[in-house]
Amino acid sequence: MSAIATDPIPVRALNQVTYCNRLYYLQYVDCVMPTNEHVEGGLFDHRRVDDPDLKNKTRSDRGTATSRGIALSSETLGISGVLDVIEEKNGEQYPVETKHGSAPHDDDGKPTVWDNDAVQLCAQALLMEEAFGKLVPHGFQYHVGSKERVELKFTPELREKTHGAISRCRELSVLDSPPEPLPSELRHRCFGCSLAPVCLPEETLYQIGHPPAVEEEAKPPAGITRVIPQSDDGAVLYVQEPGSSVGKRSEHLIVKKDGKELSRVPMHAVRQMVVVGNVQVSTQALETLAANEIPVSYVTGHGRFIGSFVPAPAKNVSLRESQFKMFGEPAVCLELAKAVVRAKLSNQRTLLMRSLRDDDTRGSKEYGARGLYDLLRTLDRHTSVESVLGVEGQGAALYFAEFGRFLKQPPTGKGFDFTTRNRRPPRDPVNALLSFAYAMLAKDCFSAVCTVGFDPYKGFFHQGRHGKPSLALDLMEEFRPVIADSVVLTLINNESVTKSDFVMWRDACQLTDAGRKTFFAAYEQRKATEITHPVYGYRMSYSRMLEVQARMLASFVRGGIPSYTGFTVR
């Protein structure tokens, strides 16, 4: 049972629960707090109300006494809140709440108050009645956008509705997973909802209503409306100059070396920082990055992902409880392992056919393509995660046996040759690029699963790898061919990298600083590429796709959708 079941419920939570039960659950039970322009606008409009110099002060003007920022709580009602404004006039006290945006209008064209705002204001009146022992018959809502002050009467119906909202918060707080998204007739509300990128309402409802059948996977449904951003805002800041340091000045990140400023980047323009090799990051910079929810990932110069400094994890305890329970069940692990391996084999086959389509033997008739197709057909027969791992290994052997032919290069010995996949350490430029690309993808999958609230170390497929972020590696499988391998092929086939971008040390091959710089640009470009989601049928960047898949996995783990479908390209 969540702590909120006994703690007083904030009156603004009654607003959320009236708007949408799922919104309340995500915000107050899962403690997810993203922001969007509506939330930020609201905070801006409250700046006078929230001014600490005005809090708990009473001023009088033309017969009206105004008190701001009054904290009230009721054990009987089980609610608490800080009231924007309490006015007192002619011996009558009433609450005044400030709202962002314009007032809605009723059928007669008169300004009115949204249902959810009415419940919040009424809850404030209930708190005042208990605290001051006097009936509060009405209150006001001030709409900043339209500069209208609208009176609201606290009718018996509204009071009953407010008590109902309190009870509903209590009932929702003890659920193990969020309730379903709003039904289609109320879906318009999702467009202004700050939690739409987390909730994924259309996608979740689609999955509930239509458990995916294998033959249906290739046909995206009609009519899913995207309510989440198509791509991520902000850039990824890569810092790799050996001996450099990253500090913070005002709202900027400053990269310096030997006392000289190398670059200066506004914090708001960064959504992730990647530190490669011997680079120092100051405590102040880390603290500010964490406060701005910007993760910092550490990667070695060889391309090994070390770990991430992530903001304090979401307080999503119930997701982690479900994760440990579900990933402890062999049948669930098997189902999920099949889903990600199915997607990986399918994506490998697609990349193979695309890369060899000009070849005389034609893509789909290729030995490798046929082999991958056969593996896909037999996947459902396997009854243990270990045997699915075996299938994945066979697929990798078939795929990498052909990988050298994907490279449009001069004759053997003159360009980039690839004979076999090798690692730890990679021994040639193609393997060095592949290892580096997988390390980058691992850190992005790590970020995605942490953002959602998972424990990145408890996976369903790569289990028992001590100290490895197993779940990040599981999620990564379906994206390896389409993000990592694709970047490597683009860099080589477009001649963006040459042999001078690599250095050999003993038998280890790695990228030079210049080579890494070229790699980072290509990798970010790939992640910004928009593709159509195979199930939901709308476009989004690969970068967003990682998070969407992680969120759908979370939804499956908590019982919100009946199955998880891996990402595939066509």
Residues that bind ligand SF4 (CB under 6 A): 20, 22-23, 26, 181-182, 189-190, 193, 195-196, 199, 201
The residue (of 190 and 336) whose beta carbon lies closer to ligand SF4 is: 190
Question: Hey, what's the torsion of the CAs at 545, 547, 551, 552, to 10 degrees?
Answer: 20
Judged by CB, which is closer to ligand SF4: 26, or 388? 26
User: At closest approach, how far in Å is the CB of 185 from ligand SF4?
Assistant: 12
Least spacing, CB of residue 388 vs ligand SF4, in Å = 33
Distances (CA, A) of 35 to 39, 144, 311, 465: 6, 19, 16, 36
**Side chain identity at 513, as an amino acid letter?**
D
Continuous segment of H or E residues that includes residue 322: helix 317-326
Closest contact distance (angstroms) between CB of 226 and ligand SF4 is 12
Shortest gap between Cβ of 205 and ligand SF4 (angstroms)?
9
- For the chain, state the CA radius of gyration: 28
- Listed in sequence order, the residues at least 6 apart from 208 whose beta carbon sits closer than 8 Å to its beta carbon are 180, 560, 561, 562
Residue type, 72: L
CB of 202 to ligand SF4, least distance (A): 9
Q: Which is nearer to ligand SF4, 142 or 536 (CB)?
A: 536
Angle, helices 513-528/486-493, rounded to nearest 10 degrees:
120
Residue number with CB closer to ligand SF4 (35 or 378): 35
Which residue's CB is nearer to ligand SF4, number 83 or number 198? 198
CB of 368 to ligand SF4, least distance (A): 43
Nearer to ligand SF4 (CB atom), residue 26 or residue 281: 26
DSSP structure string for 243-306: T-EEEEETTEEEEEETTEEEEEEEGGGEEEEEEESS-EE-HHHHHHHHHTT--EEEE-TTS-EE
Q: Which two tokens stand for residue 288?
A: 């500010």
Rounded to a whole number of angstroms, the minimum distance from the CB of residue 53 to ligand SF4 is 35
- What the block records as the tokens of 37 is 């322009």
Shortest gap between Cβ of 283 and ligand SF4 (angstroms)? 36
Nearest to 374 by CA among 390, 350, 394, 357: 394
Buried b (16+ CB within 10 A) or exposed e, 384-415: ebeebbebbebbbebbbebbeebbebeeeeeb
Nearer to ligand SF4, 69 or 453 (CB): 453
User: Which pair of tokens denotes residue 5?
Assistant: 């079941």
- Provide, rounded to whole angstroms, the least separation between the CB of residue 19 and ligand SF4: 6
Q: Which is nearer to ligand SF4, 196 or 294 (CB)?
A: 196
Q: With beta carbons less than 8 A apart as the criterion, state whether 449 and 550 touch.
A: yes
Give the span between the Cα atoms of 116 and 138, in whole angstroms: 16
Q: Between residues 81 and 201, which has the closer beta carbon with respect to ligand SF4?
A: 201
Closest approach, Cβ 186 to ligand SF4, in A, equals 8
- Residue with smaller CB distance to ligand SF4, 208 or 396: 208
| All residues at 6 or more sequence positions from 90 whose CB lies less than 8 Å from its CB, including other chains | 63
Shortest CB 190 distance to ligand SF4, Å: 3
CB of 141 to ligand SF4, least distance (A): 21
Contact 180, 204 (CB under 8 A): yes
Sign, Cα dihedral of 429, 433, 435, 436: positive
Spatial CA neighbour of 479 closest among 446, 515, 520: 446
Query: Which of the 8 DSSP states describes residue 174?
Result: T
Closer to ligand SF4 by CB, 204 or 422: give it: 204
Residue with Cβ nearer ligand SF4 (113 or 182): 182
- Say how far apart CA 52 and CA 68 lie, in whole Å: 10
